[in-house]
Chain A
Amino acid sequence: MTAAPHTVAPANTVGRVMRQVLYALLPAICLHIIFFGPGLVIQILLGVTAAVAAESLALRLRGQPVQKFLMDGSAAITAVLIALCLPPLAPWWLIVSGTAFAILVAKHLYGGLGSNPFNPAMVGYAVLLVSFPAQLTRWLPPDISGLQTVAFSLPETLHTIFTGSLPTSLQWDAVTSPTPLNALRTGVAMGQTLQEATAQPIFGMLGGRGWDWINVALLAGGVWLLSQRLIRWHTPVAMLAGLTIPAAIMSAVDPGSYPGPMFHLTAGASMLGAFFIATDPVTSATSDRGKLIYGAGIGVITYVIRSWGGYPDGIAFAVLLMNLSAPLIDRFTVPRIYGHSR
């Protein structure tokens, strides 16, 4: 006979948790496709295939039940998160190697689901970022009136991804456009004021055009996850606060060089990081207080890297650095037990 409790919450499994996270990403994925073309779909398909292959290989090598763990969906999430971080026209081997590295090294070498100290998606992305910086800057401008010089339909996208070169006689320089974070950083580095740098057409009211809507969609997805009680509010709120408070202070001190909080919130991977990456339970702090510290750390480090570091966005490194600190944070934020004074 079984031991108590004899009943558990219905349909509450790791697989369901992971599926809900994927659903929450859907609006952002759709907007991404509208703004940047069908590249993301191919990237996701490539990534998920690589993730499933790497996961089955690792499980088989480790003598674990392949079927049971493959169905949990965590590998797919890793692949989708990496795909969302890569330029949609990036060559196929980029997403494949990044995802394979994430699954094989960052996840399974550390013991698989639940045992990895670092967020696999961010490890995969960081490895690609330091290894292939040129390919990772080849973003298209969003498909908003007057921004895109060349439109990429499906056949052209496929051609670019699988051959690594642009169709016909196009040159990369003519097609790509810096991301808002990158444009801003280059502009300011060249001595422009913030106002001059953001005068380019890729900037809109809040921040980068296209990116602002994607971030809003991610925020909506995150709020839905909160309402489904799949994530707790502590990490995202603390991370966004850790990002906006320094941004508010610096833009107040020197409005000519530092963009305000709104720009940071809607630029780059802010919302993706806050609601989908920093909230990875496996690699984050445990207690509510711990999550606040952990999230705030990610926000502050992201701001520091964006403003003064060597990379336009800093979410990946910020998350990895705070992953490293999570056990320490846990040690110092053990909650009080009922009936104990401390």
Chain B
Amino acid sequence: MIRAMTGGGLRLETNKERSTAAPLRAASVPAEVILPLDQHAGTAARPLVKVGDAVLLGQPIAEPTSDISAWVHSPVSGSVIAVEPRPVAYHAASSPCIVIRNDFADRRDNANTAVDYASMSPAQLSDHIARGGIVGLGGATFPTASKLSQAVAQPDLHLLLNGAECEPWISCDDMLMRERAADIVFGAHVLMHALGTVSCTIAVEDDVPQAIASLRAAAAQVQPHIRIATLPDVYPAGGERQLILAVTDREVPAGRLPSDIGILCQNVGTAAAVARWIRDGEPLITRIVTITGSGVREPANLETRLGTPIASLIADCGGYTTDDRRLIMGGSMMGLAFSDDRLPIVKGSNCVIVPSPSDLHPRSAEMPCIRCGNCSEVCPAWLLPQQLHWQAQAHDVAALESFGLMDCIECGCCDYVCPSQIPLTQRFREAKVPVQAELLARSEAHLSRQRYEARGERLVRIENEQRARLEQKRREITGRKSPP
């Protein structure tokens, strides 16, 4: 059951076969869609529509507000019935949302057309990808174009497509790779063009043979060549930094981006979304969502319009088997628990688990740490969670920082193996707040110091220049007064 590797990580019961038995199919389209404006990383989008406006399928309804922000498109045609805060599943607070009533006509926005990406410059292509509202679909929802533009200055970039769906229960990428490998390969070529590179690897865990076979078949038909790399199915192999180490044998230095070592990582789902936008002119208005767990009658993967309430997907899967309304958005290791099934599917929703009590092993009573070291053995960031735990209890910010708290990726491996049942990850999440504040204060102090020193230098320079000018003038005057 528990089987750790030298680099940390765990072999977990994946439970993926529960949702991969049924083929990928379209979810039913709801009468009303709810589209949060902050469903991507970065700043919230600004609405372009108001209540009462008619919208078309694929029409942009909100625009980005900064370099890290994203377009939002309407996944249905119909009319805007509300622009207001609504509860969402990805954080505790409400988010500003646009709510659209579906007229079920699916009238398309004809402004969205396919483009010939090969004739575009990388910068144009990146801009165009941004207009598709495309964000990282692995869960982090970082705007894809922003990531491209951060990396594009780097020479010799390598595109790494992340198909290592390491979290238990989730199988949406597996199904996508099985059934839409051509989309992924097409998207990979678009992204390669946008980055000006010809080297690309798709990394997949070795427990998805069908996905590997269809990716190989799709990749074999086109140039430039795409390498398919298989990894052992160890959680969290799909963590960006862990994946890069596994595939390229290089570490991303702390505090830096993968692009700093010439690697750009994108989820396979993102590549497929890019393909739909470039080749078919369809912006990011659907995604594949895994609905699974013993609490739902027929687990499946559904291609879902964004904004669809989760209850509608559960109904598509035959409904609940229990009255227990405990839901998890994401996998069992890193997902967020919630209970309201009226919340909408967003760009980052890869999976909804409806667990029955037998699906999960909840924590038992917490005991003191016995320093067994299981946690440091499995930590994929090579931290010493037991030491961090002591330091977090002592609120020792300096020690927490020097023992690498900020390098914790919150994967939950340490919790999983802790015989003392300590909720380490949650403790670390809480402890990060003061450490983050300390780091911010320090970087602000550093900037103030730079400005102070720059000002000092400038004042000295101005004074020197004035003195030099005075000297010059004096020399001129004395030169005139006393002729040779």
Chain A residues with CB under 8 Å of chain B are: 1-10, 12-14, 16-17, 68-69, 72, 74, 112-115, 229, 232, 281-282, 284, 286-287, 330, 334-341
Is the Cβ of A338 less than 8 Å from the Cβ of B337? no
Chain B residue total in the interface (Cβ 8 A): 63
Q: B334 contacts which of A5, A282, A337 (Cβ < 8 Å)? A: A5
* Chain A residues with CB below 8 A from B143, complex form: none
- Which residues in B have their C-beta under 8 angstroms from that of A112? 368
B382 touches A335 (CB 8 A): yes
8 further A-B pairs in the complex, CB-CB below 8 A; given A6-B328, A338-B251: A4-B334, A4-B337, A5-B415, A7-B359, A9-B1, A9-B2, A113-B367, A287-B384
Residues of B with C-beta under 8 A to A5: 332-334, 412, 415-416, 425
Majority DSSP secondary structure for residues of B touching A = loop
Report 25 cross-chain contacts, Cβ distance below 8 Å, ordered by A residue: A2-B363, A4-B333, A4-B410, A5-B416, A6-B335, A6-B360, A8-B415, A8-B416, A8-B421, A9-B1, A12-B2, A13-B421, A17-B370, A112-B368, A113-B368, A115-B368, A229-B4, A282-B371, A286-B386, A335-B384, A337-B383, A338-B245, A339-B252, A339-B407, A341-B253
Cα–Cα distance between A113 and B368 once the two chains are bound (Å) = 7
* A16 in complex: contacting residue of B2, B377, B419, CB < 8 Å: B419
B417 on the A face (CB < 8 A): yes
Q: Is the CB of B332 within 8 A of A7?
A: yes
Contacts A4-B335, A337-B254; A9 near B384 (Cβ below 8 A): no
B107: shortest Cβ distance to chain A, in Å?
40
Given A1-B337, A113-B370, answer yes or no on A338-B407 (Cβ-Cβ < 8 Å): yes
Instruction: Please determine whether A232 and B421 come into contact, CB atoms closer than 8 angstroms.
Output: no
A2 — which chain B residues lie within 8 A by C-beta? 337, 362-363
In the bound assembly, the distance between CA atoms of A14 and B420 in angstroms comes to: 6
List B residues at the A interface (Cβ < 8 Å): 1-2, 4, 168, 241, 245, 251-256, 326, 328, 330, 332-339, 355, 359-365, 367-373, 376-377, 380-384, 386-387, 403-404, 407, 410, 412, 415-421, 423, 425-426, 429
DSSP majority for the A interface?
loop
In the bound complex, residues from chain B placing their C-beta under 8 Å from that of A339 are: 241, 251-256, 381, 407
Q: How far is the CB of B25 from chain A (nearest CB, A)?
A: 27
- CA separation between A288 and B206, bound complex, in Å? 29
| Contacting pair B251 A114 (CB below 8 A) | no
Assembly CA distance A338 to B242 (angstroms): 9
A72 partner residues in chain B, CB cutoff 8 A: 367
Determine which of B332, B335, B362, B370 lies in contact with A114 in the assembled complex, contact meaning CB atoms within 8 Å: B370
Which A-B residue pairs are the 4 nearest by beta carbons?
Answer: A5-B412, A114-B368, A1-B337, A339-B254
A7 in contact with B333 (CB, 8 Å)? yes
Shortest Cβ gap from A24 to chain B (Å): 15
Neighbouring A residues of B2 by C-beta, 8 Å: 9, 12, 229
B367–A8 touching, CB < 8 Å: no
Given A114-B369, A282-B370, verify A338-B380 contact (CB < 8 Å): yes
CB pair A337 B332 closer than 8 Å: no
B251 touches A7 (CB 8 A): no
A61–B408 CA distance with the chains assembled, in angstroms: 38
Least CB distance, B349 to chain A, in whole angstroms: 15
Q: CA–CA, A340 to B365, complex, Å?
A: 35
Cα A235 to Cα B354 in complex, Å, equals: 44
B253, B370, B371, B417: which contacts A12 (Cβ < 8 A)? B417
Q: Is B362 touching A338 in the complex (CB atoms < 8 A)?
A: no
Contacts of A232 in B (CB 8 A): 373, 377
Residues on A with C-beta less than 8 A from B338 are: 1
- Tell whether, in the assembled complex, residue A337 and residue B337 are in contact, meaning their CB atoms are under 8 Å apart: no
State how many angstroms separate the Cβ of A254 from the closest Cβ of chain B. 40
